[in-house]
Amino acid sequence: MNIARLDRKIVIEQPIETVVSYEASVTWQVYHTCFAAVSKFGGGEKFEAGKTTATNKVRFKIRFFDGITEDMRILYNGKYYDITEIQELDREGLWLTANTKI
């Protein structure tokens, strides 16, 4: 892996669910901050709830870090990306595929 290409700072956040008087709420906590190579991977549009929603699919390549799951999200460039797929690159790195709504 050419680490010089990992030139974009991202923040990976994990959900923390709390229950207060029978009401559950989710807050997000920083899990890992790192540098990544970012590339647009696709996108699309779909019609839901009476309106058209567009999504961007982005791939983030990072150095290997254990414990990242699809329940987490990525904060990059002021936008949140929901992690949809994680591919391990022989313990050298990870490809994180994520979507964001536009």
Task: Please answer whether residues 57 and 40 qualify as being in contact, where contact means their C-beta atoms are separated by less than 8 angstroms.
Answer: yes
Topology of the domain covering 3-101: Thrombin, subunit H (2.40.10)
Amino acid at 29: Q
d(CA 95, CA 97): 6
Q: What is the pLDDT of residue 62?
A: 96
Q: What is the pLDDT of residue 79?
A: 93
pLDDT string in tens for the chain (102-residue length): 788 889 999 999 999 998 888 888 999 999 999 999 999 877 676 666 677 667 889 999 999 999 999 999 999 999 999 999 999 988 789 999 999 877
Would you list the domain boundaries of the chain? 3-101
Q: What is the pLDDT of residue 63?
A: 95
Task: Please answer whether residues 72 and 83 qualify as being in contact, where contact means their C-beta atoms are separated by less than 8 angstroms.
Answer: yes
pTM over 0.75: yes
Long-range contacts of 47-50 (CB under 8 A, 24+ apart): none
